[in-house]
Amino acid sequence: MVKTKAVMIGAGLANMAAAVYLIQEGHWRGDQITFYGIDMHGSNDGGEAHDFTDEYWNKNHPLDNQTGYVARGGRMLNYRTYVDLMDLLDRIPSTTEPGMTAAEDTRDFDAHHRTFDKARLLQGGKGIIDGGKLGLNNKDRVLLSKLVLMPDDEETKLDNVTIAEYFKDDPHMFQTNFWYMWETTFAFRVESSAQELRRYMHQMIYEFTQIEHLVGVNRTRYNQFESMMLPLINYLKGQGVTFIGNRIVTDWEFADSPMQDEITVTGIHVKNTTDDTEELVPIDDNTAVIFTNGSITDSTSMGDYNTPAVENMEYGISAALWKKATERFYNLGTPDKFFNDRKNSEWTSFTLTTKNHLLLNEITRITTQMPGNALNSFLSTTPITKLGQKDVNMSIVVHHQPHFTTQKPNETVIWGYFLYPRRTGEFVHKQYIKMTGKEMAQELIGQLSKVDPGPDNIKHKEAEILDSIINNIPVHMPYASALFNNRAKTDRPEVIPAHSTNLAFTGEFAEQPYQMIFTEQSAVRSGEIAAYHFAGISMDHLVKTPRYDKDPKTLLKATRRMFS
């Protein structure tokens, strides 16, 4: 189904990747491609807070304090598995480093700032825990090995099986250092899909040997917007691609076909969110429609230093359009499995900006590591899970500073998150979701004080630290882990579904063989597949996927590590 034009629904990484491959491999001109999207970054955002306040999701949640920075997520990459992402970044110039591609920029930064986490887990009374001791028993090892050994063609055995169900006779698993690190590095919950955990076990098998130091983790020089999205946007604009923002695609027009199963888009309904006008954009026979059918940052809301983020109950706009397609065709999956189960997908994050390095230096002293190297997770000292077990309270990422190009030398930006926002703080006695930015900072200082080796506990500097905070922006993301929700393989449409003549699905809610989700990698690959399909390029030319799970040396190392 070779096409000569493309309409992109959603302007995130996946569709921008599709556009780059159409131009560079399909030899299309930029003016053959048009983007419609609610914003021009998707989940990969980041910038000065005041730049975000007018965006669609924040319209009903105006911020009193618009200072400081915000990014809804931190980012960890992994060159060894993120082969399609690195291929993409190698095709576009860096925005901040003259003469380098975006990939060279990231590799250069990374070579000079290697990740070596020295305080992956911390716990009150113990301080830094030796995460090198995974704490697995034989039952854990057997169940994990079964996941590693389960071949791709048997993964449907894990259709609709949660991680909790998979380990139902082995609650010990959820009290191991291995689990605490795995759940917070990748954001799995016990309610998440065991099928996806199997995929991670396969694609990230080599992480087993280094998970406590995050040695395989690579990071971009600045936040993901400036180091990845801006280079893409600049490149695509330079090629003549059209970006139409502040638009929600709300509905479809499909052609009729004799068996009612041929998927041919003939029009899309587009709403302009600035003036609420609607238009029908016709889609002709020569046009491909490439749709990112789910975004984990849809329906997010922001708060500020003195205001909690108020939950936004709007159903995700991407899933709403996906749902409309499933109402017409039977082979396009089950959006509600992912988007109607917020309690299993929500998290709350925060971006804290200070006017000096006091907090940064205190964290460096307590964790014994330089900024930029870590993901620090604070383990509870009392049971907090439904199973009556201990678990991680909160995690922080102290970026290499500066994390934003406009950040002043005296400023610090730190990101953190609560995987279970309905749990109650230990120091501020309310649910994390209900906390203001100030209260989240107080909770963080409290957690740090519990693991502080002294002699002068951080608690004594609380007033001074709070005084140094320019802003702390809580962000509630109802769908942050939606992609991990329990599922069957048929719950997501394939990138090119059967009987589709011009519609492709991209991003984290499209099914593609082997790829693990919640990664920039799988998002890019889905775009690459869609582009090759519509440009008539053989799939043999896709970037080759490394299979560490089939490498005997890697498997042996992982097996040995399970016994540590």
Ligand X SMILES: Cc1cc2nc3c(=O)[nH]c(=O)nc-3n(C[C@H](O)[C@H](O)[C@H](O)COP(=O)(O)OP(=O)(O)OC[C@H]3O[C@@H](n4cnc5c(N)ncnc54)[C@H](O)[C@@H]3O)c2cc1C
Q: Which residues bind ligand X (CB under 6 A)?
A: 9-15, 37-39, 42-44, 72-73, 75-77, 247-249, 292, 295-298, 317-318, 321, 349, 480, 507-508, 518-520, 523
| CA–CA separation, 432 and 443 (whole Å) | 9
- If the CB atoms of residues 39 and 117 are measured against ligand X, the closer one turns out to be 39
- If the CB atoms of residues 43 and 485 are measured against ligand X, the closer one turns out to be 43
- CA 52, chain centre distance (Å): 19
- If the CB atoms of residues 345 and 442 are measured against ligand X, the closer one turns out to be 345
CB of 228 to ligand X, least distance (A): 9
Element (H, E) at 122: strand 121-123
Phi then psi for residue 25, to 5 deg, are -100, -35
Query: Within 10 A of 472 (CB to CB), how many other CB atoms are there?
Result: 29
Between β-strands 412-418 and 392-398, what pairing exists: parallel, antiparallel or unpaired? antiparallel
Structure tokens given for 263? 């998927």
CB of 165 to ligand X, least distance (A): 25
Structure tokens given for 48? 């000065």
Residue 394: which residues within 8 A CB-CB, separation 6 or more? 377, 378, 416, 417, 418, 432, 443, 444, 447
Residue 39: which residues within 8 A CB-CB, separation 6 or more? 11, 45, 55, 56, 245, 246
CB of 250 to ligand X, least distance (A): 7
CB of 508 to ligand X, least distance (A): 5
- If the CB atoms of residues 123 and 318 are measured against ligand X, the closer one turns out to be 318
- The residue nearest ligand X at its CB is 12
- If the CB atoms of residues 26 and 74 are measured against ligand X, the closer one turns out to be 74
| CA–CA separation, 53 and 161 (whole Å) | 40
Structure tokens given for 507? 């991003």
- Which residues are marked as active site? 200
CB of 388 to ligand X, least distance (A): 28
Closest residue by Cα to residue 513 from 496, 531, 536 = 496
**DSSP at 158:** G
Task: Give the side-chain half-sphere CA count within 13 A for 234.
Answer: 16
- If the CB atoms of residues 210 and 564 are measured against ligand X, the closer one turns out to be 210
Closest residue by Cα to residue 405 from 11, 51, 157 = 51
CB 198 within 8 A of CB 510: no
CB of 252 to ligand X, least distance (A): 10
